[in-house]
């Protein structure tokens, strides 16, 4: 009975519906809450036939939906299955997006794109290889660059997510990450602060090494703004907190993203209304972060 038009995410077409085709994640990222505390590291999946049948039903049930999003932690972990589902979605004429790692080979990307894939949500986390090693990301920077090039060549959009303040972070690695984000130039960007959730390896490390001085479990304060709670000897929490806004500013206040946003707005009146709303919310969010930092 929900009115799905009331819900939106900036990088997805509107209206959208998200769903799961499986649970669990094979990756071992030290910071990630979901597999360590909820779903586990085994990717338990529904059959291709079951997923495609549900999508056919969803298409009939929600004729107004412009995009479906598969919110499995890493939908592309089982590549033959992902390709088979994609072919089924292609036959249905469905536009869809999903979560992925920055290691999907070109041939798989091509099959997904040819069968309705519009966008991949990809966690790059950092532009520094040592930090990726520290968090056990299992991705090489050069492989990520190659993956992004393949996506650009195929016309697959990327919503890139990054985390500032991970173990090993310094002022220099923050600059490296900002440069990397601008270099690979994803369609849209999401920047978070390292959050040591209880139950994760990152939380254990933070307690063991004294990165969480007050042992606070509140990662979000009453004002709703994410806090930089980790602090390192050479990188205080205040610097990490400030770097988030600077990364957003340096990424989006470039000619290329600005032209991309304006182009999308001019093509579609609904997109224009959404982008104006998102812009207002973004600048309000930044103002609230600055006020929170001053209190």
Average pLDDT per 10 consecutive residues for the chain, totaling 295 residues: 87 95 96 94 97 98 97 96 99 98 98 99 99 98 99 98 98 99 98 95 95 67 76 94 95 95 88 82 77 69
Q: b/e for 166-199, b at 16 or more Cβ within 10 A? A: bbebeeebbbbbbebbbebbbbbbebebbbbeee
Q: Which residue has the tokens 């085709």?
A: 21
Q: What share of the chain is helix, strand, coil (3-state, %, to 5)?
A: 50, 15, 35
Cut 0.85: pTM above it: yes
How far apart CA 114 and CA 95 sit, in angstroms, is 11
Quote the number of domains for the chain: 1
CA distances from 252 to 62, 66, 90, 118, 239 (A): 33, 26, 33, 21, 20
CATH number at residue 127: 3.80.30.20
Largest pairwise CA distance in the chain: 56
Of 118, 138, 120, 140, the closest CA to residue 129 belongs to 140
**Which domain does 207 fall in, by range?**
4-294
């Amino acid at each position: 009975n929900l009115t799905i038009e009331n819900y939106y995410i900036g990088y997805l077409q509107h209206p959208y519906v998200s769903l799961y085709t499986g649970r669990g994640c094979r990756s071992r990222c030290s910071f990630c809450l979901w597999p360590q505390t909820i779903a586990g590291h085994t990717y338990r999946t529904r059959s291709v036939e079951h997923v495609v049948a549900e999508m056919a039903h969803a298409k009939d049930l929600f004729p107004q939906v412009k995009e479906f999003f598969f919110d499995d932690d890493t939908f592309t972990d089982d590549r033959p299955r992902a390709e088979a589902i994609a072919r089924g979605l292609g036959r249905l004429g469905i536009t869809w997006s999903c979560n992925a790692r920055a290691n999907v080979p070109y041939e798989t990307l091509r099959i997904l794109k040819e069968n309705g894939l519009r966008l991949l949500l990809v966690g790059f986390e950092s532009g520094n290889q040592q930090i990726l090693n520290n968090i056990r990301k299992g991705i090489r920077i050069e492989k990520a660059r190659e993956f992004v090039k393949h996506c650009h060549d195929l016309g697959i959009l990327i919503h890139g997510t990054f985390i500032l303040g991970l173990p090993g972070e310094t002022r220099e690695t923050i600059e490296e990450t900002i440069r990397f984000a601008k270099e690979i130039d994803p369609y849209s960007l999401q920047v978070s602060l390292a959050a040591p959730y209880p139950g994760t390896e990152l939380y254990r490390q933070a307690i063991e090494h004294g990165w969480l001085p007050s042992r606070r479990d509140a990662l979000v304060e009453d004002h709703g703004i994410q806090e930089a709670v980790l602090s390192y000897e050479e990188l205080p929490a205040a610097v990490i907190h400030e770097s988030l806004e600077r990364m957003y500013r340096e990424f989006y206040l470039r000619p290329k993203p600005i032209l991309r946003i304006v182009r999308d707005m001019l093509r579609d009146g609904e997109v224009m209304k959404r982008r104006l709303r998102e812009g207002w919310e973004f600048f309000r969010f930044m103002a609230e972060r600055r006020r929170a930092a001053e209190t």
